[in-house]
Structures are given as structure tokens and as C-alpha cells.
């Protein structure tokens, strides 16, 4: 055979097998691949070489060949001498010698390596497919221009489309109109910076036109030249918590009766207006309004009629003012107006007169027409004060002056009105002296666990025993102490006193309980606050895990990043953190999620009106639910009545604090009334 060398040295696996199954010839490649020597081959039966799964197929093929037909290329698995599987691809035909079919000849190629790569690819591809298909997060793939290339079932389901529809759309087609600009700018930034990923919250538009809030994390992929290839947005449904948050905000910042901003939003607007006025060196006027006849209407004609009167008054006020002015309801029949864009005091008088006229028209209250009048007090910044507290206080004083003059009139604030009140200068001097003379002391108000009805902690509250004025409550000196920075030495004194008290309690063998300490913004934002706390812990030997610091939302929101650093350092010391007076600031609940705090204390103003104000009920309810969802403990403050207690007890509230259980007590009284010795049962 002149071609024998060619066959023997071919890179294919070539074999000739007799009809009895015994191998007649195999070439070098065949032997090398399957690991047999020349000597092994003679006694080999082909069916021993073939993986048993292929025996049947092979016999069928031989049959077909014998019937004179040809066989297309096929795959087969051999078993090598060492047991390895060798996958081969090839064809067979009849082996003819002397015009007689003597057996079957085959020519194969080893495709094991290729097959294994294919299989590995398939496995990883199908693994990713599964993740993509079954993920509860929506995952899509977009071309750089925002066209959909792929979207998983969750993504489609979130937005109410089938994948085929999405593939005809761009991301901007399903973005909420208000968020399109931001979406495009995010994309431009990502492309310009070659940044790989962004995380944000964004609104989509579902097929049925409804809004879908998502937490989006989007990753960009670039080729080696930095050309964008595609982007993969992953979205999670946060619609429910967003809606809850907006609802809480609406409830928390608007008065449901009149739809006017409430006290919280007003405080915020006033701060803003003051900052603007200061920056632009423009005046700002604050009006404090009180309806002269409201109490009579409410008492004699009933709340429903009183409410209607307030609603109409609110509408009239709105009509008297321009869009940039703010009118808010502080509660009851007290309204406030902020005027920020006017030329001189005459303009303010004109607006006041207009309001007086509008509110003196008879109110049509279904049952009858009611005549009323109004008293207005006006304070102007900067003359009457450059901060919101002073302005409000002065406008309030001026309002009383207007009422004192018989009502139905307005008064500008004047210095004489202030003469009666204790001068701030005096108070400041007193405060300094009081610190030196140790006129301060601390009381402790128990906080009750709603599960056990046992004491869970106490809140330390500072008092000032003034030699001639008697006990002055903190509300009357804390803000002054803050303004004059005296809060810093006072704060250190409170901490030291409370820490020492904790040690005394611990040594007396009481079951350990938490002790809350109010920390003012001034203290908290001091550079060395944490060091100061560390020093005091060391000095007194207090166990920091018993301590809980209370700060208000506004302190945190003022500079969230700095606050997180301080909060984290305090937490690392073992001190727990609580947000105090929750609901009175203007913070977003979703912001709290990222803070290392463990407790919310719902402000007592919400608890106070639970029985009369459905808004407050809704706020308290929603706040508790939301806080629980964020994993925070909740304390209701200012619980005075069984009814208020019952309300919060029926929700998921953890603790209550208030006169219903106990007023603030001296350290000894806390111990004798509330504490249980370790090892002893409570009674
Ligand atoms: P806060 O932190 O909201 O403290 C709770 C206040 O609610 C206390 O008033 C407490 O006596 C009062 N309270 C408790 N239960 C009830 C209740 O059932 N009904 C009513 N109407 N009130 C209740 P207090 O002691 O006059 O303190 C007023 C504020 O002064 C505190 O409000 C806190 O912001 C501040 N304060 C008190 N001690 C300190 C302190 O050591 N440092 C700082 N920075 N601030 C303090
Ligand atoms: Ca507090
Ligand atoms: Ca509080």
C-alpha cells in the first residue's frame, strides 16, 4: 500500500475493525490518544474500546452501512486504556479487501478538549442565566445609548412590560419625567469619568403610567480603549417605603385641617428665609396672628364649626399673600406669616391691614354668620432679632400688646414690651455664677418597658436651683446656655454627675438599667467631644454600655457626614445613641437608615394630642412602623394619660416615658421607687 505511511502518520485517529469486532489496524495517533501499544492492539475487541452508551448506536450504523447506505459524521466516546473518556467526531465506511467487505474502517478526530470547554461555558452560562432569571432584583442590560438589550423577569414585572416590549424602548422612555434629566446627567458623568458604578434612588414609569420607586445600582462596562460597551442596571422596589415616607412627610409637615404648613415646616421655612434675608441684606417680617373670637365659637358652636372657621380663615390668609410668602398654622387659632420681599415697614402695615380686613368679614359657618377680628403682632429682622426664636418671641409679645389694645389691630414689637421679661444679660450672668456656685442638679425620669412594665432606663434632666427665682426648668436656660457656649461646661458637669451616679447605682447592686443623657448640638459638634467623653468614662469608671446619648434630628441633619463619624466613634465606645424629639425636625426617615443610632424618641407634642388629632395618631403610628422596619427601638415621650398609654401600647412601641408612670425624680427616689436588687424578685 503506497499510502500506508500517510495513514499511519495522520493526525486523525484511524482504525480498521473486522466484523467480529477485533481490531485489524489502528494508526499511531489512535494508539497515542487512547494509550495503547502496538502489542496491545491485536487482542482488542472494538466494543471494549467503546463507551457502553454508544454500543447500540454503533451496531445500528454498521447495519446501515451493510445495507449499502452511507453514514454522516457523528460523535462517539472511546474509553482509553487508563479509563479516560475520549470524545471523538468522525465517520465510518465499509473496509473492502479483494472486493469483499471485511470490516469497518473509521476516521475520527479527538474533540475532548473542545467539548470540555463547551461544557464549562454552558454550565457557567446556565448558572448566570438562573441567577438572571430568578433574581428578585430587576436586572437589565442597556446599550450605551440607553436601548434595552435584555431584561430579566423581575425587571419586566416591576414595570409591567414583557421583555419584547422593553427591547424596543430606551431607558428614558420608562424613566419618570422628573428624573430624566438626572438620569442623563448621571450617564454623562459615568461616561466622562469612566466610572464603573453608581447607586441612587430613582423613579421609573410603569406601562400603566404608575410611578415605581427603585433603588438603582448601575454598572458600566468599557472595552480596553475605554469605549462604553453596555451598562447593567439592577433595581430594587422601594415604592412602598418611599410612599410611606412621603405620606409621613405630608402628615408631619402640613396641617390636615387647613392644608397650611405646620409648625415644623414653618420653623424650617423661617430659618431659610432668615438665612436668605441675611445674605441679601434684606429685611424680613414675622407676623403672629390670633383670631379674637375663635375660642367662643369653638366652645359655643362646637369643634366642627370651629374647624370650618379655621379653614375659611386659612383660605383668606392665602389670598392676602403672595406666593413667596409663607403662612402657617402653629396650632389652635394661631397663624404666622413670613414676609420676605418688601421695601419698607409701610408695606408690612399694608399687608397687616389687608389681613385684618379679610378676617373681619363675616364667616359663613352653615349654622349662622359669625363675626370675628384678629390681633397681629409683628417683629422685623434684623432690628427685633436675627434668629427665629427671638423673632417669634417678640412677634408673640407684640401680638399680646395688640390683644391688650382691644384686638382687631396690629402692633410692631418694641423694646418696652421686653422690659418686663428677665433681661438676657442678667440671665447670662446668673448662669455663669450658677455654674460656679453649683446651683445645678440632675433628676432622672424612668422609662418603662412596655413588655415587662419594668423600668428599662432613666433620662437625666438638668435643673437649676436659682437662689431667688427658685427652680428654673431647662427650657428656660438651655437655649441661652447654647448661645453663650456655657452649655459646654454645663454639659461636662451633667455628664460627670450622671456618670458618677451610674457608678453609685451599680455599686448598690441594682439590676443595671440604661441612663439617657441629653447632648446639645454645641457639645456634639465640638472637635474633642468624643475625647472628652472618653476622659470622663475613665475618670468615673462608668460602664459605657449603660449610657445612651440623646441628640435631636436637626443636630444630625446639620452635617450628616460629620455626625456619622462622631456617632460611630461613640457607638464604638459602647454608648447607644437615640434621636430625641423625633418628628419636629425636617429629616428624612430614609436618611436615618444610614445612621448608627438605636432608638427614636417620638416627640411629646405628638403624644399630647393623640386623642384629639387624627394626624398625630397617623404620624405616631407610621413613625413606629417605619422605625421598626429600620430596626430601631421606639420610645414615646410625654405619656400622661391611660388613653395615650393604651394607644402606644397597642402599636409596636418599645418604651414609654411620661408623667403617667413617673415625673423626673431624684437619684434616691428612683432607687427607692423603681429599682430592683440583683438576685431579688420584683414585687
Ligand atoms: P426632652 O429631652 O424632650 O426631655 C423630656 C422633657 O419632657 C422633660 O422636660 C420632662 O420633664 C418632660 N416630660 C416628661 N414626661 C412628660 C409628660 O408626661 N408630660 C409633659 N408635658 N412633659 C413631660 P424638662 O426636664 O423641662 O426638659 C426640657 C428639655 O430641656 C429636654 O427636653 C431637653 O431637651 C433639655 N434638657 C434637659 N436636661 C438637659 C441636659 O442635661 N442637657 C441638655 N443639653 N439639654 C437638657
Ligand atoms: Ca431628651
Ligand atoms: Ca424629647
Q: How far is the CA of 478 from the centre of ligand 1 (A)?
A: 11
367 band by pLDDT with thresholds 50, 70 and 90? low
CA of 518 to the centre of ligand 2 (A): 5
Q: Whose CA is nearest to atom 27 of ligand 1?
A: 474
Q: Give the mean pLDDT of 12-41.
A: 91
- Our answer on whether the CB atom of 604 is closer than 6 Å to any ligand 1 atom is yes
Tell me the HSE value of 530 on the side-chain side, using a 13 A CA sphere.
15
The pLDDT value given to residue 589: 64
- pLDDT grade for 655, boundaries at 50, 70 and 90: very high
Q: What angle do CA 610, 614, 617 make, to 5 degrees?
A: 50
User: What pLDDT is stored for residue 1 in this prediction?
Assistant: 54
Mean pLDDT of 369-384: 89
Q: Ligand 3 centre from 601 Cα, in Å? A: 6
**pLDDT greater than 70 at residue 680:** no
Percent of the chain whose predicted confidence (pLDDT) is above 90: 54
In the predicted model, what is the mean pLDDT of residues 158-179? 94
pLDDT digits (tens, 9 = 90+) for 545-569: 999 999 988 788 777 888 999 999 9
Compute the distance from residue 649 Cα to the ligand 3 centre, in Å. 19
DSSP for 95-114, written as a single string? EEETTEEEEEEEEEEE-HHH
Q: Does the beta carbon of 581 lie inside 6 Å of ligand 1?
A: yes
pLDDT digits (tens, 9 = 90+) for 203-235: 999 999 999 999 999 999 998 888 999 999 999
Mutate to test the pocket of ligand 1, among 458, 518, 609 (most ligand atoms within 8 A of CB): 518
Residue nearest (by alpha carbon) to ligand 1 atom 45: 518
CA–centroid distance, 445 to ligand 1, in Å, is 9
State the pLDDT confidence band at 588, using cuts at 50, 70 and 90.
low
Going by pLDDT thresholds of 50, 70 and 90, the confidence category of residue 418 is low
Is the beta carbon of 520 within 6 A of some atom in ligand 1? yes
Place of cell 417680617: 285
Residue 223 three-state SS:
coil
Q: Which of 637, 639, 640, 660 has most ligand 1 atoms within 8 Å of CB, for mutation?
A: 637
CA 522 to centroid of ligand 1, rounded, Å: 17
Ligand 1 atom index nearest CA of 461: 38
User: What is the band of 365 on the pLDDT scale with cuts at 50, 70, 90?
Assistant: confident
Pocket flag, ligand 1, residue 659 (CB < 6 Å): yes
What number is the average pLDDT over the span 170-176? 94
3-state secondary structure 154-173: HHHHHHCCCHHHHCCCEHHH
Structure confidence by residue, pLDDT tens digits, 485-495: 899 999 999 99
pLDDT at 590 over 80: no
pLDDT at 419 over 60: no
C-alpha of residue 330 to centroid of ligand 1, in Å:
21
More confident position, 432 or 554:
432
Return the ligand 1 atom nearest residue 462 CA: 38
Ligand 1 atom at minimum distance from 482 CA: 44
Looking at residue 681, its pLDDT comes to: 47
Distance 604 CA to ligand 3 centre (A): 7
Cα separation, 379 vs 110, whole angstroms: 95
Question: Using a 6 Å cutoff on CB, does residue 497 contact ligand 1?
Answer: no
- Which ligand gives the minimal distance to the CA of 635? 3
Closest protein CA for atom 33 of ligand 1: 518
Centre of ligand 2 to C-alpha 557, Å, is 17
* pLDDT for res 401: 82
Distance 488 CA to ligand 2 centre (A): 17
Closest ligand 1 atom, residue 481 Cα: 44
Residues 6+ apart with CB under 8 A from 609: 616
* pLDDT above 50 for 417: yes
Q: With beta carbons less than 8 A apart as the criterion, state whether 50 and 129 touch.
A: no
Q: How confident is the model at residue 472, as a pLDDT?
A: 80
Query: Which atom of ligand 1 lies closest to the CA of 487?
Result: 44
Under a CB-based contact definition with an 8 Å cutoff, are residues 294 and 306 in contact?
yes
347-359 tens-digit pLDDT: 999 999 999 999 9
For ligand 1, whether the C-beta of 664 sits within 6 Å is yes
* pLDDT of 420: 43
Return d(Cα 625, Cα 645) in angstroms, integer: 17
How much of the chain exceeds pLDDT 70, in percent? 96
Whole-number Å distance, alpha carbon 219 to ligand 3 midpoint, is 43
Take atom 20 of ligand 1 and give the residue whose Cα is closest: 638
For range 55-64, the mean pLDDT:
88
- CB of 462 closer than 6 A to ligand 1? yes
pLDDT of residue 150: 94
Q: Looking at the CA of 548, name the nearest ligand.
A: 2
Q: How far is the CA of 427 from the centre of ligand 3 (A)?
A: 24
Query: Is pLDDT of 529 > 90?
Result: yes
| C-alpha closest to that of 523 among 555, 498, 497, 547 | 555
Query: Is 121 buried (19+), middle (13-18) or exposed (0-12) by CB count in 10 A?
Result: exposed
522, 485 contact by CB (below 8 A): yes
Please tell me the predicted confidence (pLDDT) of residue 305: 87
Q: What pLDDT is stored for residue 426 in this prediction?
A: 67
According to the model, what pLDDT value does residue 4 have?
80
Atom number of ligand 1 nearest to Cα 517: 41
For the stretch 593-648, pLDDT in tens is: 778 999 999 999 889 888 888 888 888 998 898 888 889 999 999 999 999 999 99
Radius of gyration of the chain (CA): 41
Residue 615: name the closest of 92, 254, 178 by CA: 254
Pocket flag, ligand 1, residue 473 (CB < 6 Å): yes
Residue with CA at minimum distance from ligand 1 atom 7? 638
Q: Is the pLDDT of residue 423 over 60?
A: no
Q: Cα(517) to centroid of ligand 1, in Å?
A: 11
Which of 431, 464, 478, 643 most suits a substitution to test ligand 1, by most atoms within 8 Å of the C-beta?
478
Tell me: pLDDT of 395 over 60. Answer: yes
Q: Which ligand is nearest to the CA of 460?
A: 1
Whether the Cβ atoms of residue 95 and residue 103 lie closer than 8 Å to each other: yes
| Rounded CA separation 467/496 (Å) | 23
Cell readout for 200 is 441612587
425 pLDDT more than 70: no
Point out the ligand nearest to the CA of residue 550: 2
pLDDT for residue 294: 83
Nearest CA to ligand 1 atom 42: 518
Give distance in angstroms: CA of 506 to centre of ligand 3.
Answer: 26
Q: Which secondary-structure segment (H or E) carries 446? A: strand 440-449
User: Residue 570's pLDDT is what?
Assistant: 96
**640 Cβ inside 6 Å of ligand 1:** yes
The alpha carbon of 461 and the centre of ligand 1 are apart by a number of angstroms equal to 6
For residue 513, which of 456, 460, 459 has the smallest C-alpha distance? 456
Answer yes or no: is the C-beta of 18 below 6 A from any ligand 1 atom: no
Beta bridge partners of 281: none
Better pLDDT: 679 or 184: 184
Nine cell digits for residue 585 = 425636625
Amino acid at each position: 500500500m503506497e499510502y500506508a505511511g500517510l495513514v499511519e502518520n495522520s493526525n486523525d485517529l484511524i482504525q480498521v475493525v473486522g466484523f467480529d469486532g477485533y481490531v485489524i489496524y489502528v494508526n499511531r495517533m489512535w494508539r497515542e490518544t487512547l494509550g495503547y501499544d502496538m502489542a496491545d492492539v491485536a487482542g482488542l475487541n472494538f466494543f471494549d474500546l467503546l463507551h457502553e452508551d454508544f454500543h447500540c448506536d454503533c451496531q445500528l450504523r454498521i447495519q446501515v452501512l451493510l445495507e449499502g447506505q452511507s453514514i454522516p459524521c457523528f460523535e462517539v466516546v472511546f474509553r482509553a486504556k487508563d479509563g479516560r473518556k475520549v470524545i471523538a467526531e468522525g465517520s465510518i465506511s465499509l473496509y473492502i479487501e479483494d472486493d469483499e467487505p471485511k470490516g469497518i474502517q473509521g476516521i475520527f478526530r479527538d474533540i475532548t478538549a473542545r467539548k470540555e470547554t463547551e461544557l464549562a461555558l454552558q454550565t457557567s452560562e446556565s448558572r448566570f442565566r438562573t441567577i438572571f432569571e430568578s433574581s428578585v432584583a430587576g436586572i437589565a442590560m442597556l446599550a450605551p445609548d440607553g436601548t434595552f438589550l435584555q431584561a430579566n423577569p423581575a425587571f419586566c414585572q416591576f414595570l409591567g412590560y414583557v421583555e419584547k416590549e422593553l427591547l424596543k424602548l430606551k431607558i428614558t422612555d420608562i424613566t419618570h419625567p422628573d428624573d430624566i434629566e438626572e438620569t442623563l446627567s448621571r450617564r454623562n458623568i459615568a461616561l466622562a469619568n469612566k466610572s464603573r458604578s453608581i447607586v441612587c434612588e430613582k423613579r421609573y414609569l410603569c406601562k400603566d403610567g404608575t410611578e415605581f420607586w427603585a433603588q438603582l445600582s448601575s454598572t458600566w462596562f468599557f472595552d480596553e480603549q475605554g469605549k462604553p460597551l453596555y451598562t447593567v442596571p439592577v433595581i430594587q422596589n422601594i415604592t412602598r417605603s418611599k410612599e410611606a415616607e412621603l405620606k409621613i412627610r405630608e402628615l408631619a409637615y402640613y396641617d390636615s385641617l387647613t392644608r397650611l404648613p405646620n409648625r415644623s415646616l414653618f420653623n424650617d421655612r423661617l430659618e431659610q428665609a432668615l438665612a436668605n434675608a441675611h445674605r441679601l441684606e434684606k429685611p424680613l417680617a414675622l407676623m403672629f396672628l390670633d383670631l379674637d373670637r375663635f375660642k367662643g365659637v369653638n366652645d359655643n358652636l362646637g369643634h366642627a364649626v370651629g374647624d370650618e372657621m379655621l379653614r375659611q380663615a386659612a383660605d383668606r390668609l392665602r389670598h392676602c399673600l403672595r406666593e413667596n410668602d409663607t403662612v402657617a398654622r402653629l396650632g389652635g387659632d394661631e397663624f404666622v406669616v413670613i414676609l420676605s420681599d418688601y421695601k419698607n415697614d409701610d408695606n408690612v402695615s399694608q399687608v397687616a391691614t389687608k389681613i385684618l380686613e379679610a378676617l373681619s368679614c363675616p364667616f359663613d359657618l352653615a349654622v349662622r354668620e359669625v363675626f370675628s377680628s384678629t390681633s397681629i403682632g409683628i417683629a422685623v429682622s434684623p432690628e427685633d432679632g436675627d434668629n427665629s426664636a427671638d423673632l417669634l418671641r417678640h412677634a408673640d409679645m407684640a401680638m399680646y400688646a395688640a390683644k391688650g389694645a382691644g384686638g382687631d389691630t396690629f402692633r410692631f414689637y418694641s423694646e418696652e414690651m421686653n422690659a418686663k421679661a428677665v433681661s438676657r444679660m442678667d440671665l447670662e450672668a446668673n448662669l455663669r455664677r450658677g455654674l460656679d456656685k453649683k446651683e445645678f442638679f440632675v433628676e432622672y425620669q424612668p422609662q418603662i418597658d412596655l413588655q415587662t412594665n419594668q423600668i428599662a432606663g432613666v433620662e437625666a434632666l438638668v435643673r437649676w436651683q436659682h437662689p431667688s427665682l427658685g427652680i428654673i426648668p431647662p427650657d428656660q436656660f438651655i437655649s441661652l446656655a447654647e448661645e453663650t457656649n456655657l452649655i459646654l461646661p454645663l454639659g461636662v458637669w451633667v455628664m460627670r454627675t450622671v456618670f458618677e451616679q451610674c457608678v453609685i447605682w451599680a455599686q448598690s447592686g441594682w439590676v443595671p438599667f440604661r441612663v439617657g443623657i441629653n447632648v446639645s448640638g454645641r457639645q456634639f459638634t465640638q472637635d474633642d467631644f468624643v475625647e472628652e467623653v472618653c476622659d470622663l468614662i475613665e475618670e468615673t469608671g462608668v460602664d459605657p454600655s449603660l449610657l445612651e446619648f440623646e441628640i435631636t434630628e436637626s443636630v444630625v441633619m446639620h452635617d450628616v457626614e460629620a455626625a456619622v463619624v462622631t456617632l460611630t466613634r461613640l457607638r464604638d465606645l459602647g454608648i447607644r445613641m437615640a434621636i430625641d424629639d423625633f418628628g419636629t425636625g425636617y429629616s428624612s426617615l430614609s436618611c436615618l437608615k444610614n445612621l448608627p443610632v438605636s432608638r427614636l424618641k417620638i416627640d411629646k407634642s405628638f403624644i399630647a394630642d393623640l386623642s384629639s388629632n387624627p394626624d398625630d395618631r397617623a404620624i405616631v403610628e407610621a413613625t413606629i412602623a417605619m422605625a421598626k422596619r429600620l430596626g430601631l427601638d421606639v420610645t414615646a415621650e410625654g405619656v400622661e394619660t391611660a388613653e395615650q398609654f393604651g394607644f402606644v401600647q397597642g402599636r409596636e412601641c418599645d418604651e414609654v416615658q411620661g408623667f403617667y408612670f413617673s415625673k423626673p425624680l431624684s437619684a434616691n427616689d428612683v432607687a427607692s421607687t423603681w429599682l430592683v436588687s440583683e438576685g431579688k424578685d420584683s414585687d
